[in-house]
A and B are shown apart, each in its own frame.
Chain A
Amino acid sequence: MGIDMTLVNDQDIVMNENAASYGSRPDLGPLPAIYLDYQATTPTDPRVVDAMLPYFSEKFGNPHSTAHVFGWQAEDGVDMARTQVANLIGAEAREIVFTSGATESNNIAIKGLAGFYGDRKNHIITVATEHKCVLETCRMLEHDGFQVSYIKPKKNGLIDVSEIADLITDKTLLVTVMAVNNEIGVIQPISEIGSICRQKGVFFHSDCAQAFGKIPLDVGAMNIDLMSISGHKAYAPMGIGALYVRRRPRVRLKPLFDGGGQERGMRSGTLPAPLVVGLGMAAKLAMDEMGTEHSCLENLQKLFLNTLDEADVDYNINGDRHDRFAGNLNLSFPAVNGETLMASLSGLALSSGSACTSAAVEPSYVLKAIGLTDELASASVRIGFGRFSKQDETVKAASDIAAAVKRLHKTND
């Protein structure tokens, strides 16, 4: 059962055949496998690497050394990056707190609010399909006496915004909803959620690890109070992320850890200047190229599905077909053993779920939350496209998957 998507005109595809078909996007060179795991991590863009390199050599100073030129050079790099990150989400530079990654940002945001306001308000609303680190943090707060409402998404993975409105009470401190789901790619109605939260005087945090640099985000228009950002999901290196913290109306946080008081006391520790500069450059590239990149990804997605359709393979798309990030597909193959399928796709780097949980064999909690059976959830793969994906590789990957699925069907017969 294919999907009802208009066939892509061959002409469109040819126009985008070359990986460097837009902008000045560099080529990564030969890779050991076809990389289809862009939601686990993205390659670091060579232009990002180039921006970082001087901060490993002549500009190596500690950005907090205020007494000499080595420190100032590093600090200048950090300041520029702070502005670049802020610009991409419509924030002010001083509202950006650099962290080691989105997991830390999510921890600081949720525990930090709970720590600061917890004696007055103790109810949190989140979604059952959030990233593990959000859910684990919420569970920890439940142990500390917080009440947490976990909204169950609809079958298409999207939440019903009216449910949030209904759940908010005068004890509600925070609504935390991710923008783009890491497994099924659906885009939640962030603007609507933000406007409800603002009306009701509740803080709104969004885990934008998968959305930053991929889809337009605006903390003002979306009424986002706290936003978690990841570097390595947006072509910057691992080990760097950010938390947007709104200044007006002001959001106060209890820091997760203390020390030298860097990042306005919200996140102590020496800032890794090269990584920060890398995140800034990644934000700048996204700002310049998001539009063209998005149409490229849409084409790749269509191409992938067309290839499956032409091979007449039976599949379901998990998550809404339209409200989804174009760089993600999550597909289930009915009547196929998932583990056998994964084992037969060794030439493809893809995942059966999120990276942090893919070492575990249990079926994805996200897919189960949108109503898949254990069996179907296990027979699902996540396919991620990105900046360096190529059309020929995309077609090959889809053909390999189609062939494997058909072979497995045959063995079943």
Chain B
Amino acid sequence: MYSAIYMDHNATTSVRPTVVDAVGDAMAVIGNASSVHGPGRQCKRILENARDHVAEVINCQSENVIFTGSGTEANNLALRGLSGIPVLASTIEHASVRSVIDHEKIAVDDQCVVNLNQLTRLLQKQTGRVLVSVMLANNETGAIQPVKDVVRIAKSFDAVVHCDAVQALGKIDVDMIDLGVDMMTLSAHKIGGPQGVGALILSPAVEIEALIKGGGQEHRRRGGTENLPGIAGFGEAAKQVKSERTNFSKLTILRDQIETAIQSMTGRAAYSSSVARLANTSCLSMPGVRAETQVMAFDLEGIAISAGSACSSGKVEASHVLSAMGLGDDDASSAIRVSLGWNSTQHDVDRFIDVWKMLYNRLSNDHVMAKAV
């Protein structure tokens, strides 16, 4: 086992041991869930059992769950499956949502929370039916969005509402009915499940056209043989999330230790710290030190963090989320994301704080000296 400390759970979480077992068990069952013979029916039972667990964790009916190959696919299915309806989304959405938007975006304030007044104004300008897409919690800052308010406003304009809950599930309670959204995106590998499986939850009021056409699986909404081991793992992870729902907030204690220590040195709080936020996520600037430099230095010290979301972390451009919050280039380019997970420990946090202080003293001094020269 590699001994490095993993603090990038928003990119992907380590897979829970019971999930690995569920995946392994499902791989040992031979058959295709669409086959009518004995092994095929056994696969079908595993599939439907997992569907029940996923439905239960977000309080919806099992038949509303469409399994996909990823959260990205689910977002695309939600936004493209209602063809012809323009999409109105916030500026802080995941790349898979932003890539579909052809319309004006809903701005956020400096705490990374969507501006509801602007949402109303944008909806007033629309002539036909629109689809509003707002994520439940932001992947970079952890800021929780007022989705119930978004739904209330959007519904008064007869809009359809989609919510990307990929980063929220497992970290806060997610209730499809209470939120009142029409469509919701989930991903297994952000809750300790395996990579390669996601889901779109569809309220009975909405019908969509399949993006991947094929053998008619998933009630004709997603063709292709179901990824049975992956789905079984997703089901198990959902079951775990439901059983430990109160434990996650304990991560706040660990997270706050990090933020308090850093604030005492820099005088600066974490981004979005004055609004409701995921318990595990901290987005922090080390003044004067570029994020890439920090990330590399932390890696050398055996700590894995990131400079933004994983899919774009290879790129050098500043985070679209931090820009949307109005951060200047200096602040945005010096921000890192620390995200804790179900297996994070006090030791991890202590070590992170030690390394952060060491790097701050070393790197920011370098920076000051470089400026002086």
Binding site for B on A (CB under 8 A): 28, 31-33, 35, 37, 40-44, 49, 53, 56-62, 64-71, 73, 99-104, 106-107, 131-133, 136-137, 140, 232, 237-240, 256-262, 268-275, 346, 348-351, 354-359
Contacts and interface: CB of A to CB of B under 8 A. Distances in A.
A73 B12 CA distance: 13
Nearest to B75: A259
B215 A356 contact: yes
B34 interface: yes
A100 B227 contact: yes
A144 to B, nearest CB: 11
Contacts of A232: 32, 225
Given A64-B314, A100-B69, A259 B76 contact: yes
4 A-B pairs with the lowest CB-CB distances in the bound complex, closest first = A356-B215, A260-B311, A239-B227, A272-B196
- Most B CB contacts (10 A, CB to CB) among A44, A71, A106, A269 go to A269
A349 B37 contact: yes
Interface string B25-65: 00100111011111110100000000000000000000000
Interface of B: 1-2, 4, 6, 8, 11-15, 19-20, 23-24, 27, 30-32, 34-40, 42, 68-73, 75-77, 80, 94-96, 99-100, 187, 189, 194-197, 211-217, 223-230, 292, 295-296, 298-299, 303-307, 309-314
A347 to B, nearest CB: 8
Contacts of B76: 256-259, 268
13 contacts: A58-B1, A64-B11, A67-B8, A69-B4, A103-B215, A237-B27, A238-B227, A259-B75, A260-B96, A269-B70, A270-B12, A272-B194, A356-B225
Given A257-B76, A272-B196, A356-B217, A56 B15 contact: yes
Contacts of A44: 27, 229
Contact of A67 (B24, B211, B307): B307
Contacts of B303: 68
B196 A100 contact: yes
A259 B311 contact: yes
Contacts of A40: 31-32, 34-35, 40
- Most B CB contacts (10 A, CB to CB) among A43, A65, A351 go to A65
B224 A257 contact: no
A268 B2 CA distance: 28
A356 B75 contact: no
B94 to A, nearest CB: 7
A36 to B, nearest CB: 9
A269 to B, nearest CB: 4
Contacts of B100: 258
Contact of A133 (B2, B35, B73, B213): B213
B39 A71 contact: no
A271 B195 contact: yes
A68 B2 contact: no
Nearest to B1: A58
Nearest to B19: A56
Contact of A62 (B11, B68, B94, B224): B11
A56 B20 contact: yes
Given A33-B39, A35-B31, 12 more contacts: A40-B40, A64-B314, A67-B8, A68-B299, A70-B2, A73-B2, A99-B69, A104-B224, A261-B311, A270-B311, A273-B195, A349-B31
Contact of B34 (A69, A237, A256, A356): A356
A258 B96 contact: yes
A102 B13 CA distance: 27
Contacts of A354: 215
A260 B95 contact: yes
Given A41-B225, A238-B228, A65 B32 contact: no
Given A56-B20, A355-B32, A239 B69 contact: yes
B30 A275 contact: no
Contacts of A104: 69, 212, 224
Contact of B12 (A60, A348, A350, A351): A60
A37 B37 contact: yes
B32 A259 contact: no
Nearest to B79: A257
Contacts of B194: 56, 272, 274-275
B72 A270 contact: yes
Given A133-B213, A257-B72, A64 B310 contact: yes
A64 B8 CA distance: 12
Given A66-B314, A67-B299, A355-B32, A275 B20 contact: no
Contacts of A73: 2
A240 B37 contact: no
Contacts of A348: 37
A346 B37 CA distance: 7
Nearest to B69: A100
Contacts of A64: 11, 310-311, 313-314
B195 A259 contact: no
A300 B27 CA distance: 25
Contacts of B72: 257, 259-260, 268-270
A270 B216 contact: no
Given A136-B213, A268-B95, A65 B36 contact: no
Contacts of A275: 194-196, 227, 230
A102 B212 CA distance: 11
B31 A67 contact: no
Given A67-B313, A238-B225, A43 B30 contact: yes
A232 B314 CA distance: 31
Nearest to A361: B36
Given A40-B31, A359-B36, A259 B213 contact: no
Contacts of B296: 67
Nearest to A67: B295
A40 B33 CA distance: 9
Contacts of B211: 107, 256-257
Given A64-B314, A132-B216, A35 B223 contact: no
A103 B194 CA distance: 21
Contacts of B215: 103, 131-133, 354-357
A309 B94 CA distance: 62
A390 B172 CA distance: 51
Nearest to B30: A43
Contact of B35 (A56, A62, A132, A351): A351
Contacts of B298: 68
